[in-house]
């Protein structure tokens, strides 16, 4: 495990395909996705957690657990790199584990596996059945590349991100559309 790690939950988007900001979404049991994401990162070993909000942030704020820091990405409409930039700017940690708010099957075991051996030069991403996914782990040394406006996926490829197989630890699929029973 790194000396100090931050888990960053990207939850700033408006969720156009989902029909509402995913920061406002709840699981079928009523538990907010923001709460689930924060608890998973803490259980997986992140020393601190930052939740990045944007669209309807004032409404989503009460869904974030009090033990997480909330950061507002004022330029959230510019895309994921803007949200990531806001999250990274809010911490002095050595390693950032970045995930999305809409990953229902992310487990603490995946977070542990990704953080194992991470340091300020790490660039790694989870894979599921050979497909790249989240979370992503990036050492501080590479943060400037992630905040220069390019798509984060392009930056990870350019940096030669290693892959960490998390297939047996839970799924990495995000939820883009609301199930019919929640419409």
**How far, in Å, CA of 122 to CA of 145, rounded?**
13
**How far, in Å, CA of 140 to CA of 119, rounded?**
8
pTM, two decimals, is: 0.93
Return the closest-CA partner of residue 118 out of 103, 136, 134.
Answer: 136
CA-atom Rg of the chain in angstroms: 15
Return the closest-CA partner of residue 161 out of 183, 180, 181, 133.
Answer: 133
Return the closest-CA partner of residue 56 out of 103, 88, 27, 13.
Answer: 13
What's the distance, CA 164 to chain centroid? Answer: 16
Domains and CATH numbers, the chain: 5-174 (3.90.550.10)
According to the model, what pLDDT value does residue 180 have?
Answer: 44
Cα-Cα-Cα-Cα dihedral sign, residues 31, 23, 182, 103: negative
* Tens digit of pLDDT at every position of the chain (183 positions): 567 999 999 999 998 888 889 999 998 899 999 999 999 999 999 999 999 999 999 999 999 999 999 999 999 988 888 899 999 999 999 999 999 999 988 999 999 999 999 999 999 999 998 899 899 999 999 999 988 878 888 899 999 999 999 998 877 666 665 654 443
The answer to whether the beta carbons of residues 71 and 52 sit under 8 Å apart is yes
Which residues have CB under 8 Å from 93's CB, separation 6+?
2, 4, 5, 6, 47, 48, 140
Q: Strands, E, within the chain: which ranges? A: 5-11, 48-53, 69-72, 95-100, 123-128, 131-139, 162-165
């Amino acid at each position: 495990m790194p000396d100090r790690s931050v888990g960053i939950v990207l939850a700033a988007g408006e969720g156009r395909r989902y029909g509402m900001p995913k920061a406002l979404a709840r699981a079928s049991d009523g538990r907010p996705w923001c709460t689930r994401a924060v608890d998973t990162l803490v259980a997986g070993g992140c020393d601190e957690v930052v939740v990045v909000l944007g669209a309807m942030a004032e409404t989503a704020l009460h869904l974030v657990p009090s033990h997480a820091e909330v950061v507002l990405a004022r330029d959230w409409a510019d895309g994921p790199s803007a949200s990531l930039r806001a999250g990274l700017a809010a911490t002095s940690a050595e390693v950032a584990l970045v995930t999305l708010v809409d990953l229902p099957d992310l487990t603490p075991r995946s977070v542990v596996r990704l953080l194992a051996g991470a340091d300020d030069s790490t660039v790694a991403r989870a894979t599921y059945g050979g497909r790249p996914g989240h979370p992503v782990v990036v050492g501080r040394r590479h943060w400037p590349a992630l905040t220069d406006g390019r798509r984060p996926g392009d930056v990870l490829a350019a940096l030669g991100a290693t892959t960490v197989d998390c297939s047996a630890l839970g799924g990495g699929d995000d939820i883009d559309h609301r199930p019919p029973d929640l419409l």
